[in-house]
Chains A and B, each alone.
Chain A
């Protein structure tokens, strides 16, 4: 991945046009609703403005190359971890929070480092085994500080935070090392967000039966199944992203995005409900916190990478 390769890669160019076109169309639709039909869509405008900032940032990172994509993902993970730590109160334990940040930074280093055995970009063996070292490191903190009280909770939260937000989300960054990085990355981000939108729209239009009433009261089976149907169709609609995929891999991709995306959403939702909070933060106006935005990707990215690696390898 590099700026010159990005420009020459048709997949990248198509996604730039696709997202740009969708943003323009959505802007035109919102303008029509606001000024012609006089509808109050102020909250949707706020969400839209959030996308106007996020889309160029994401495309810019991917355009700039492999290193910026990995570092960008790491920064998102670190700020996501910060939200998690603030929400759970873990951040009051600076040592543990700092150790979790260091472990997340290690994900970035391992993703950027070349494999010493094969010379390929990204040390996949160490990346896969990183949780072992990170957990060992996090368990050392109470021992080094000679502390006991509240340490089980701190260590547990730090481990969950690192594994879920640091390492699992880190798989998205690691995909930048693949030979098909543009297709994989852009497809995943696009399809996961589309899955979210589809679940919302199908739920609004046809939603009758609550999916998980205690976790997320507004989600319905109809919305969920509608989103799954869209996600199952997308690997064929956007098949240019991974032309080497056969029908099995396309179905698996659809299932991973369609089911995994919603499970990721519900995972952050049950954490928020347990904590008694509505959003993980207010970093992105109209979207909530970083974790509210990347919840689905956290779940989907590692499953997708594992599937790709199983069938084709990353390089």
Chain B
């Protein structure tokens, strides 16, 4: 009788260099990268709490299991770090902040930081927009994925909340994936677009109630409806921040 064959699950990125491996998404797990991400997350959380006195409200709204999407207003690089810091440590490597591929995935140094430190998902806003949306859907189909998404598509230059682009609606329409609206206050003042380094300043993160759009059929109208609903939810959280 022949010896039964073992099943070898070789890494998909075996013959790729480190930069190419980091450029991929989803990435194969790597102890070195995970260790670096843990250390960076520790430093980031300590800095946000110490230097920016980050206050998080509504953490109990985060779904306990399954995949979900976190969306927020976008005025600063600090936004991603705030949202990541709101997540439990055990979810660190399962959270994928969507990052503009044309900005964060062009130079090796930026790829290394984006992918290794924050586990960024390269999102192509122009030529391969559809493929990027499909990648988000694929990731969310795997259990326990957290997609961090800024529906405005770019950092606001004024600090005001801009219009939401329909991509987030296309991801969520007709699915039972929960989306959690969030609002970040103080990030624009601390590190606006154009500044090289952040300034000390108070940050507040409000996490709203999760919602799903399973009843909506996929399509443009649903996508726009979802965008409007989510923007309204973020504005409501912003209003709460203002009254405080």
Contacts and interface: CB of A to CB of B under 8 A. Distances in A.
A278 B15 contact: yes
Given A278-B15, A279-B15, A92 B29 contact: yes
A258 B8 CA distance: 32
Contact of B11 (A89, A98, A153, A278): A89
A98 B7 CA distance: 21
B194 interface: no
Contacts of A98: 31
A97 B15 CA distance: 20
B16 interface: yes
A219 B15 CA distance: 23
Nearest to A285: B17
Contact of B14 (A101, A153, A274, A281): A281
Given A279-B15, A281-B14, A89 B31 contact: no
A39 interface: no
A275 B15 contact: no
Contacts of B158: none
A10 interface: no
Interface in A238-290: 274-282
Given A92-B29, A94-B31, A86 B11 contact: yes
Contact residues on A (Cβ < 8 Å of other chain), bracket: 20 to 34
B11 A282 contact: no
Interface string B1-22: 0000011111100111100000
B28 interface: yes
B29 A91 contact: yes
A281 B10 CA distance: 11
Nearest to A156: B6
A86 B10 contact: yes
Interface in A49-108: 82, 86-89, 91-92, 94, 97-98, 101
A153 B6 CA distance: 7
B151 to A, nearest CB: 34
B14 A86 contact: yes
**Overall SS of chain B's interface:** loop
B116 to A, nearest CB: 16
B10 A88 contact: yes
A7 to B, nearest CB: 35
Contact of A275 (B8, B16, B28, B31): B8
A92 B9 contact: yes
Interface in A30-50: none
Contacts of B15: 277-279, 281-282
Interface string B169-180: 000000000000
Contacts of A94: 29, 31
A221 B14 CA distance: 31
A263 to B, nearest CB: 23
A97 B17 CA distance: 21
A101 B31 CA distance: 11
A160 to B, nearest CB: 12
A150 to B, nearest CB: 9
Contacts of B7: 89
A282 B16 contact: yes
B10 A277 contact: yes
B10 A276 contact: yes
A281 B31 CA distance: 16
Nearest to A89: B9
29 contacts: A82-B31, A86-B10, A86-B11, A86-B14, A86-B28, A87-B8, A87-B10, A87-B14, A89-B7, A89-B8, A89-B9, A89-B10, A91-B11, A91-B31, A92-B29, A94-B29, A97-B31, A98-B31, A101-B31, A153-B6, A274-B8, A275-B8, A275-B10, A277-B10, A278-B15, A279-B15, A280-B14, A281-B15, A282-B17
Given A86-B14, A278-B15, A279-B15, 13 more contacts: A82-B31, A86-B11, A87-B11, A88-B10, A89-B8, A89-B9, A89-B11, A91-B31, A92-B9, A94-B31, A275-B8, A279-B14, A282-B16
Q: What 8 A-B pairs are tightest by C-beta distance, nearest first?
A: A89-B9, A86-B11, A89-B8, A282-B17, A282-B15, A153-B6, A88-B8, A275-B8
